[in-house]
Amino acid sequence: MNDPATFLHAMRFLGAGLAMIGAIGAGAGIGIVSGGAVQAMGRNPDATPTIQTNMILGIAFAEAVAIYCLAVALIIVFAA
Amino acid sequence: MTETTPTRRFGFKRWIVIALILLGIYFGFIAGGIFKPVAPGVVLPGEPIWPGLSWLTNTLLATLLADVVLLWLGWSTISFMRSGKLVPSGVYHIVELLVEFLWNTAESTAGKWARRLLPVFATIFLLVLVANLIRLVPGFESIGYLQSPEAGSSVKGYPIVQILPGVYALDGSQAGQEVPAGTAEPQGLCTTCTLVPFLRGSATDLNFTFALAIVAVLAVEYFGFRALGLGYLTKFFNFGTMINKPVFGVIDAGVGLLELVSEISKIISFAFRLFGNIFAGTLLLAILGALTVAIVPSFLYVLELFVGVIQAYVFGMLTLVFISQAVVGHGGDHDEHAEAPAAH
């Protein structure tokens, strides 16, 4: 606490860690998407290619949120 | 019931693998010294491949290498086609597999636009795929020149040892030392060094991913204008419905402006998705490779292969889907669609 530079350094890492909390949502979202896709594929195996394509797209969109968190965390650690 | 030919339980190759694993464990944990991997320094921008050569970064060199691999694939396909042989052989198998897969994907997503969209989709997919796969070749991020770390940065330096005349390595058995501020060493060999690799994965540089993302989004706009003419703009500036439906028209206009914002955020999400996945994968490989010398990195390499292919597929697929959404116009109602440009 006596050294402002070290304190700032520590707070940057803390902030980056806090920013990555947003990845929780993406994790839950990806789980829900793939769970639904697996159920759909189980009910209708013939539709697997279509479902798989849409599942990967859905996962990509859900993951984008986590990627934003990662970008913020990287900016905090390296750029700010 | 069927006669099975007895298979050799212990083939020759698996002994090589086991010997390599044991060697890794021996050098990593017991022998120590120069064979112990050093904890990597995390560097965001691409580094120059030689001190002072700032316009040629190692990520750019890796991208050029990916281009060379793609050109080689294309050239070997052309020479196979010219040879007139009917039985596919060699690398032509891979190209045929890829092209068939790409065509099926494009056709199932874009329908009648598939012929025109395939070049855009296939170019992005192949470039990202090759760039993501060649970064896993041993030698990437591990062969380079030694440089004293920037003073005051958090990157740690390691003492160097000479293993062959003119060949130096970092001594991983010594703990990394932070370089105190203001002790930048003069030119020449440093005593506490970091490694600057000659080659680093292309997608670990934001310039590569942002360039691809901008090209992809510009392609979306281009195909949108090409399919719908100036009517494509009504997707964003949708004031036409405000005249006959005042309340919902305002909502439509707001939604149109939101579309405009989402068009810009597409660039950011494209770029950071690829960058984040590949950069995080690189960090994972490097850090866990330094912590656990044997066995675990092998599984992580399999994961990274998977991630590289999936990210290439996602990048190309999202481009394709965005273009297919752009070319059909909004609402899907043809009467309204024919009316909107006139009102604009």
User: What CATH number is attached to the domain comprising A51?
Assistant: 1.20.20.10
Predicted confidence at residue B236, as pLDDT, reads 82
| pLDDT(B254) > 90 | no
Predicted confidence at residue B341, as pLDDT, reads 43
Predicted confidence at residue B282, as pLDDT, reads 85
> Average of pLDDT values for B299-323?
90
| pLDDT(A8) > 60 | yes
| pLDDT(B313) > 80 | yes
Q: Can you give B5-21 as a three-state secondary structure string?
A: CCCCCCCHHHHHHHHHH
| pLDDT(B35) > 60 | yes
Q: Who has greater pLDDT, B128 or B339?
A: B128
* CA separation for the pair A41, A47 (Å, rounded): 7
> Average of pLDDT values for B291-299?
78
Residue in B308, B341, B318 with CA at minimum distance from that of residue B266 = B318
> Which chain A residues have a beta carbon less than 8 Å from that of B314?
56-57, 60
> Average of pLDDT values for B153-177?
69
Query: Which residue from A49, A57, A71 is facing B317, i.e. has the nearest CB?
Result: A57
Which among A67, A76, A77 is the top mutation candidate for probing chain B, defined by the most B β-carbons within 10 Å of its own β-carbon? A67
A49–B108 CB contact, under 8 Å? yes
Q: Who has greater pLDDT, B158 or B65?
A: B65
Q: Who has greater pLDDT, B75 or A53?
A: B75
B272–A50 CB contact, under 8 Å? no
Range of the domain at A44: 4-79
A64–chain B Cβ distance below 8 A for any pair: yes
| pLDDT(B295) > 80 | no
* Structural tokens at position B94: 């891979």
Predicted confidence at residue B168, as pLDDT, reads 73
B314–A71 CB contact, under 8 Å? no
CA distance B116 to chain A (A): 21
Q: Residue B312: beta bridge partners?
A: none
Predicted confidence at residue B187, as pLDDT, reads 47
Predicted confidence at residue B7, as pLDDT, reads 61
Q: pTM for this structure?
A: 0.80
Predicted confidence at residue B122, as pLDDT, reads 93
| pLDDT(B340) > 60 | no
Quick check: B193 and B160 in contact, CB under 8 A?
yes
Predicted confidence at residue B334, as pLDDT, reads 46
| Number of domains chain A is built from | 1
* CA separation for the pair B146, B168 (Å, rounded): 8
B314–A56 CB contact, under 8 Å? yes
Predicted confidence at residue B12, as pLDDT, reads 81
> Average of pLDDT values for B132-149?
82
Predicted confidence at residue B223, as pLDDT, reads 92
| Average pLDDT in chain B | 80
| pLDDT(B331) > 60 | no
Q: How confident is the model at residue B336 (pLDDT cuts 50, 70, 90)?
A: very low
B313–A56 CB contact, under 8 Å? yes
- Comparing A10-14, B293-297, B325-329, the range with the smallest average pLDDT is B293-297
Compute the radius of gyration of chain A from its Cα atoms.
19
Query: Which residue from B42, B269, B321 is facing A67, i.e. has the nearest CB?
Result: B269
| pLDDT(A32) > 60 | yes
Predicted confidence at residue B4, as pLDDT, reads 63
Predicted confidence at residue B344, as pLDDT, reads 40
* CA separation for the pair B228, B247 (Å, rounded): 26
Predicted confidence at residue B190, as pLDDT, reads 67
Q: How confident is the model at residue B173 (pLDDT cuts 50, 70, 90)?
A: low
A56–B277 CB contact, under 8 Å? no
Domains of chain B, by residue range, sit at 58-137+203-343, 144-197
B318–chain A Cβ distance below 8 A for any pair: yes
Q: How confident is the model at residue B216 (pLDDT cuts 50, 70, 90)?
A: very high
A78–chain B Cβ distance below 8 A for any pair: yes
> Which chain B residues have a beta carbon less than 8 Å from that of A57?
314, 317-318, 321
Distance of CA B105 to the CA centre of its chain: 20
Quickly tell me which residue has 């501020």 as its tokens: B181
Query: Which residue from B273, B279, B317 is facing A56, i.e. has the nearest CB?
Result: B317
> Which chain A residues have a beta carbon less than 8 Å from that of B309?
none
* Ranges A53-57, B64-68, B174-178, B245-249, most confident: B64-68
B273–chain A Cβ distance below 8 A for any pair: yes
Distance of CA B72 to the CA centre of its chain: 19
